[in-house]
């Protein structure tokens, strides 16, 4: 082991007993280069972050230009910072009426926390509803509505008054009542191994929320920004949330989260008590300009259409007796092998062949395909050949 790797294990807190431990020195488009010069085709995109590819020139240019203007000047919400205003203006312009006010924070989980607080404020209720198998982040509020006991049991007590519903179970919708402040749903579940609910169930969910006055919160931290073949996954279902939660690709490769609601509702955070949610670094100008530039690239280059095309190509090419199913939409895919050990061997095999894949924390029998949305046809073909090869030799 070299000195850098030793130090990685000795001095940097670890989250897993078995990290991939690649030492990347350069990244561009859909490719990563390690210190030893080996190149890897990236099917992970920093876990659904680098939608416009690594170091897109427009994003890098925007970051450099902002570095020459100013960095942090004051905690969120006091100064008129043009990067924040312009980004919020552009984002809300792409969203339905009613989602017209953006609050920028630092991560997906912080955005979930703040959305829960806002929902309680708006409704005056305390009940929360989450979904079985969901993942919403690692802080206490997010864990409370996460439907995965393995992630939660060490952290109890968590928030009280939380119920869980299952995708496509109509009978569960009666758990949403006049006491429910918010129902938090990933419109397509990510960490669960990419699970797509039926359009009928989503529509019934929307109706039940309207009937009971419960707010519908869509967690699009992973599904947002073209990943599933529409700019936001909720567009596919024709159900508009009351609060939209964003993260990951939002910041164009820099850390950022956000929640979006109506201006009237967002105004509740300014009184009784004032400063209803505060953050020092939320809306930092660097992720704002990077996110703005990435959004322009996404729209201008129609990367959502590329996500659809390349997603379909993956599905067409990934046919093998060991593959039980390729689930998902656009470039948010799960390759189901039905065998945890095989998944590990195939992911390792792909890595040796220069293709970076990754498993799901809550669905160890499948591995994910979530590359940058700029991935090209020849790269998809190369990735699929490596996966087929790894499947053949994974004994």
Binding-site ranges for ligand PLP (CB under 6 A): 47, 107-109, 112, 135-137, 186, 190-191, 219, 221-222, 247, 257
Residues 358 and 338: their CA atoms lie apart, in Å, by: 15
Smallest gap from Cβ 57 to ligand PLP, in A, equals: 25
Smallest gap from Cβ 26 to ligand PLP, in A, equals: 24
From residue 336, alpha-carbon distances to 195, 214, 307, 325, 339 in Å are 12, 35, 20, 5, 8
- What does the angle CA 203 – CA 127 – CA 137 come to, to the nearest 5 degrees? 80
Q: Which is nearer to ligand PLP, 109 or 212 (CB)?
A: 109
Smallest gap from Cβ 382 to ligand PLP, in A, equals: 27
Residues 186 and 118: their CA atoms lie apart, in Å, by: 18
Smallest gap from Cβ 247 to ligand PLP, in A, equals: 5
Residues 227 and 374: their CA atoms lie apart, in Å, by: 11
From residue 124, alpha-carbon distances to 83, 176, 208, 214 in Å are 33, 15, 18, 11
The three-class DSSP label of residue 300 is: helix
As given in the structure block, the two tokens for residue 146 are 């996460």
Residues 56 and 297: their CA atoms lie apart, in Å, by: 9
Using CB atoms, what's the residue nearest to ligand PLP?
108
Smallest gap from Cβ 46 to ligand PLP, in A, equals: 11
Give the 3-state secondary structure of 219-266.
Answer: ECCCCCCCCCCCCCCHHHHCCCCCEEEECHHHHCCCCCEEEEECHHHH
Return the bridge partners of 33, or none. Answer: 26, 39
- What does the angle CA 256 – CA 259 – CA 265 come to, to the nearest 5 degrees? 150
Q: What is the largest CA-CA distance in the chain?
A: 63
Q: Which is nearer to ligand PLP, 243 or 390 (CB)?
A: 243
Q: Which is nearer to ligand PLP, 25 or 47 (CB)?
A: 47
Return the bridge partners of 127, or none. Answer: 180
Q: Which is nearer to ligand PLP, 112 or 194 (CB)?
A: 112
Smallest gap from Cβ 219 to ligand PLP, in A, equals: 5
Q: Which is nearer to ligand PLP, 188 or 293 (CB)?
A: 188
Smallest gap from Cβ 109 to ligand PLP, in A, equals: 3
Smallest gap from Cβ 161 to ligand PLP, in A, equals: 21
Q: Which is nearer to ligand PLP, 245 or 384 (CB)?
A: 245
Report DSSP letters for 269-294, one per residue: GGSSSSSSS--SSTT-HHHHHHHHHH
Smallest gap from Cβ 352 to ligand PLP, in A, equals: 26
Q: Which is nearer to ligand PLP, 193 or 349 (CB)?
A: 193
Residues 132 and 139: their CA atoms lie apart, in Å, by: 18
Q: Which is nearer to ligand PLP, 241 or 349 (CB)?
A: 241
Helix axes 285-300, 303-317, angle to 10 degrees: 70
Q: Which is nearer to ligand PLP, 106 or 208 (CB)?
A: 106
Rounded to a whole number, what is the distance in angstroms from the first to the last CA of the chain? 27
As given in the structure block, the two tokens for residue 82 are 């043009």
Residues 43 and 386: their CA atoms lie apart, in Å, by: 12
Q: Which is nearer to ligand PLP, 54 or 368 (CB)?
A: 368
Smallest gap from Cβ 230 to ligand PLP, in A, equals: 16
């Amino acid at each position: 082991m070299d000195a850098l790797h030793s130090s990685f294990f000795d001095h940097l807190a670890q989250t897993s007993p078995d990290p991939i431990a690649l030492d990347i020195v350069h990244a561009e488009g859909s490719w990563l280069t390690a210190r030893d010069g080996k190149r890897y085709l990236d099917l992970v995109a920093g876990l659904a972050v680098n939608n416009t590819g690594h170091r897109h020139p427009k994003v890098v240019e925007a970051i450099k230009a902002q570095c020459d203007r100013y960095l942090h000047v004051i905690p969120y919400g006091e100064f008129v910072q043009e990067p924040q205003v312009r980004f919020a203006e552009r984002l809300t312009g792409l969203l339905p009426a009613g989602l017209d006010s953006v609050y920028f924070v630092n991560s997906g989980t912080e955005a979930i926390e703040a959305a829960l607080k806002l929902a309680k404020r708006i409704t005056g209720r305390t009940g929360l509803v989450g979904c079985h198998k969901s993942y919403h982040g690692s802080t206490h509020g997010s864990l409370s509505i996460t439907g995965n006991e393995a992630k939660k049991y060490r952290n109890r007590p968590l928030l009280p008054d939380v119920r869980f519903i299952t995708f496509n179970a109509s009978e569960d919708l009666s758990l949403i009542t006049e006491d429910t402040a918010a129902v938090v749903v990933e419109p397509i579940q990510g960490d669960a191994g990419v699970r797509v609910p039926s359009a009928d169930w989503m529509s019934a969910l929307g109706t039940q929320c309207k009937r009971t006055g419960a707010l519908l919160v869509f967690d699009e931290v992973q599904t947002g920004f073209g990943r599933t073949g529409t700019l936001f996954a909720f567009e596919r279902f024709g159900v508009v949330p009351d609060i939209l939660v964003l993260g990951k690709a939002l910041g164009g490769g820099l850390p950022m989260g956000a929640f979006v609601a109506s201006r009237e509702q967002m105004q509740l955070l300014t009184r009784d008590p004032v400063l209803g949610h505060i953050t020092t670094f939320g809306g930092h100008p660097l992720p704002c300009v990077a996110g703005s530039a990435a959004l322009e690239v996404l729209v201008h280059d129609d990367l959502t259409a590329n996500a659809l095309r390349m997603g379909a190509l993956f599905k067409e090419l990934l046919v093998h007796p060991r593959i039980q199913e390729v689930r998902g939409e656009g470039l948010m895919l799960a390759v189901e092998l039905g065998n945890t050990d095989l998944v590990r061997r195939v992911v390792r095999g792909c890595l040796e062949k220069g293709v970076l894949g990754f498993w799901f924390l809550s669905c160890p029998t499948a591995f994910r395909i979530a590359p940058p949305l700029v991935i090209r046809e020849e790269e998809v073909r190369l990735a699929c050949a490596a996966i087929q090869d790894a499947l053949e030799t994974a004994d």
